[in-house]
Amino acid sequence: MGKHRSRLQILGTILSVISDNGGAKKTQIMYQAYLSYKLLTRYLNDVMNAGLVVCDNENCFKLTPKGEKFLANFSEYHRSHEVVKKNLDNVQNQKLMLQEMCPNSEE
C-alpha cells in the first residue's frame, strides 16, 4: 500500500494544481491531485470556506491572495520538513550502526 497523505499535503497539492494552471476545473484538480470526487468536494469546500480559493462563473477555481500566501508558506514548510526527515533518517541509521558495533549480549 502507498503512503497516506496528510490533510496539509492534500490541500497543498490542490492549491498547486490550481496555481500551476492559472485556475482549474474540478475534473482537472481531481485527476492531477489524485483524489476521488468525494474527497475533492470535501477539500474544495474547506479551501473555499477558508478563503483560499474562489470559483468563478465558469466553474473555474482560482487562488485568492490568501491562497497564494498559504501555498508559499506550505512550500517552505514542505521543504523544511523534507530536510528534517532526511536528517532524522541519517541519525536513525547512525544509531543502528552503533548498535550493530556493540550488540547487547543479553538478547
pLDDT tens-digit map of 9-24: 999 999 999 999 999 9
Whether 107 maps to a domain, the answer reads no
CATH of the domain at 72: 1.10.10.10
pLDDT tens-digit map of 27-75: 999 999 999 999 999 999 999 999 999 999 889 999 999 999 999 999 9
pTM, 2 dp:
0.79
pLDDT at 92 over 90: yes
DSSP state of 89: H
What total number of domains does the chain contain? 1
Question: Structural domain of residue 31, as residue ranges?
Answer: 7-101
9 burial level (CB within 10 Å; 0-12, 13-18, 19+): middle
Whether 34 maps to a domain, the answer reads yes
Give the pLDDT score at 105: 66
DSSP state of 27: H
